Amino acid sequence: MLRTKTVMGFLLIAVFAGLVMAGTGTAGAQTLDVYMVGYYNTGVTNVNTSSPGGVQLINPGTSGGTLCADVYVFDPAEELKECCALPISTDGGLFLSLDGFTDNPANGVYSATGVIKIVSDPTCNPFNPTPTPELRGSIFNVNTPSITETPFQQTPLSSQELYELGLLCSFIPNQSGPGFCFALDSGFQRK
């Protein structure tokens, strides 16, 4: 009798462990190839300057449709400066100046350096993205006397990070003014 209870206990533990691992595998699969992070060191420093840096994004077409790069730009103090959604058609690409990501800060304070986070999203909604693989991208920084191309780092995206990015973007009060990047017509109109 004791032996049967012990075997049953081990079986229950194994089943529970299997369910936990299966759940973790599912969550992990949902976060692959959907989130990229990179730094910039040549952002706009005031209203009269421009940036020599740039961002290149491509949609390799494996998702079968247009994807948006939901972009979130942070300064070194980890404050969200700008956010937007940039559509990229299947097998398409964009090359954009860093000006469009750094020249319209939400609080009016420019930052020459910072971090750009991108979520690959078919809904083009930076307030509530639906992560879908699989945009690729690079960032171009000027390191005098040369320009350096650095691929964005594919990074695991937690549900907490996804929620916080959308929430922070939704806190920007005017959806067509300061705080929205205008690298392209991203569904928002600059006034």
Q: How does pLDDT run across 14-38, given as a tens digit for each residue?
A: 434 443 333 333 344 345 689 999 9
Distance, CA of 17 to CA of 6 (rounded, Å): 16
User: Tell me, what's the pLDDT at 33?
Assistant: 85
Q: Kindly provide the b/e burial profile for residues 45-74, where b requires at least 16 CB atoms within 10 angstroms of the residue's own CB.
A: eeeeeebebbbbbbbeeebeeebbbbbbbb
pTM, full prediction: 0.77
What local confidence, expressed as pLDDT, does residue 49 receive? Answer: 77
**Where in the chain are the domains?**
31-170
Peptide bond into 145 cis (omega under 30): yes
Checking 170-179 for CB contacts under 8 A at 24+ apart, the result is: 170/127, 171/80, 172/80, 172/83, 172/106, 177/104, 178/104, 178/105, 178/106, 178/107, 178/108, 179/80, 179/81, 179/82, 179/83, 179/104, 179/105, 179/106, 179/107
Alpha carbon distance 112, 147 (integer Å):
16
- Specify the 3-state DSSP secondary structure of 10: helix
Q: Which residues of the chain have pLDDT under 70?
A: 1-32, 173-176, 182-191
Q: Sign of the CA dihedral 141, 146, 148, 149?
A: positive
Per CATH, the number for 31-170 is: 2.60.290.11
Q: What is the pLDDT of residue 66?
A: 94
Query: What's the pLDDT score for residue 44?
Result: 80
Q: Identify whether the C-beta of residue 73 lies closer than 8 Å to the C-beta of residue 83.
A: yes
Three-state DSSP class for residue 98:
coil
